[in-house]
């Protein structure tokens, strides 16, 4: 399903970050760094950090994939202008599954409930993969919310945070997925 010849990093993040904001510029830098490291990026394909990541990757010559949900978001006019390959999904659950199926690794940037849902699904799959003798790609988070939430959920849900790298910068997150994917 991957329309590129590169490994793909799915980047989850807010649709509300505006161009010029700190989060947007971090997202743009994340996309650029991933492209420079030889990866394609996949996002939810719309505005905010999804646009920023795709923009940064495209500006650096990297391929971009947007997994959109046109029936869920009929008011949106389609993928952002930086998406090179659009993959429409019928609903939000299929959108998350498609993003995860496309990806070899994952980065969660600041976001809201949708970003949390994406991160939780990836985290759960990484947690259960060893039970099936399977590997799952690296996961990194960036942002204050994840620095607080991941340890809290790990403690309260008796889970394992070793499957997630809590990064302080996009550079750290990109370094983590790059090194893990060798």
pLDDT at position 14: 96
Per-residue burial over 120-145, b = 16 or more CB atoms within 10 Å of its CB, e = otherwise: ebbbebbbeeeeeeeebbbbbbbbeb
- Cα torsion 72, 127, 176, 153 to 10°: value is 80
pLDDT at position 162: 82
* Nearest alpha-carbon partner for 96 in 77, 76, 68, 63: 68
The whole-model pTM stands at 0.96
Mean pLDDT, residues 14-30 taken together:
97
* Nearest alpha-carbon partner for 122 in 138, 134, 111: 138
- Report the side by side order of strands in the sheet with 64-68: 85-88, 64-68, 40-43, 8-12, 105-108, 139-142, 164-167
Using pLDDT thresholds of 50, 70 and 90, give the confidence band for residue 78. confident
pLDDT at position 167: 96
pLDDT at position 75: 81
CA distances from 141 to 4, 23, 107, 132 (A): 24, 13, 6, 25
**pLDDT tens-digit profile of 117-164?**
999 999 999 999 999 999 999 999 999 999 999 999 989 988 877 889
Using pLDDT thresholds of 50, 70 and 90, give the confidence band for residue 3. confident
**Is pLDDT at 172 greater than 90 in this prediction?**
yes
Distance CA 65, CA 63 (A): 7
Using pLDDT thresholds of 50, 70 and 90, give the confidence band for residue 57. very high
CA distances from 17 to 28, 53, 110, 175, 181 (A): 11, 11, 9, 23, 29
Six-digit token string for 88: 């429409």
Percentage of the chain lying above the pLDDT 90 cut = 87
Mean pLDDT, residues 20-36 taken together:
98
Domains, the chain, ordered by start: 8-181 (3.40.50.450)
Mean pLDDT, residues 108-115 taken together:
97
């Amino acid at each position: 399903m991957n329309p590129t010849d590169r490994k793909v990093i799915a980047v989850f993040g807010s649709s509300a970050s505006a161009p010029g904001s700190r989060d947007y510029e971090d997202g743009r830098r994340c996309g650029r760094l991933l492209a420079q490291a030889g990866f394609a990026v996949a996002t939810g394909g719309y505005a905010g950090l999804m646009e920023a990541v795709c923009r940064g990757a495209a500006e650096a010559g990297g391929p971009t994939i947007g997994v959109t949900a046109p029936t869920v978001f009929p008011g949106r006019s389609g993928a952002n202008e930086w998406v090179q390959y659009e993959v429409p999904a019928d609903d939000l659950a299929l959108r998350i599954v498609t993003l995860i199926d496309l990806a070899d690794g994952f980065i969660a940037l600041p976001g809201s409930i949708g970003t949390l849902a994406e991160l939780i699904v990836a985290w759960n799959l990484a947690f259960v993969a060893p039970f099936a003798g399977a590997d799952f790609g690296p996961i990194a988070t960036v942002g204050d919310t994840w620095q607080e939430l991941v340890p809290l959920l790990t403690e309260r849900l008796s889970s394992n945070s070793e499957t997630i790298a809590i990064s302080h910068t996009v550079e750290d997150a990109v370094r983590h997925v790059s090194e893990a994917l060798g």
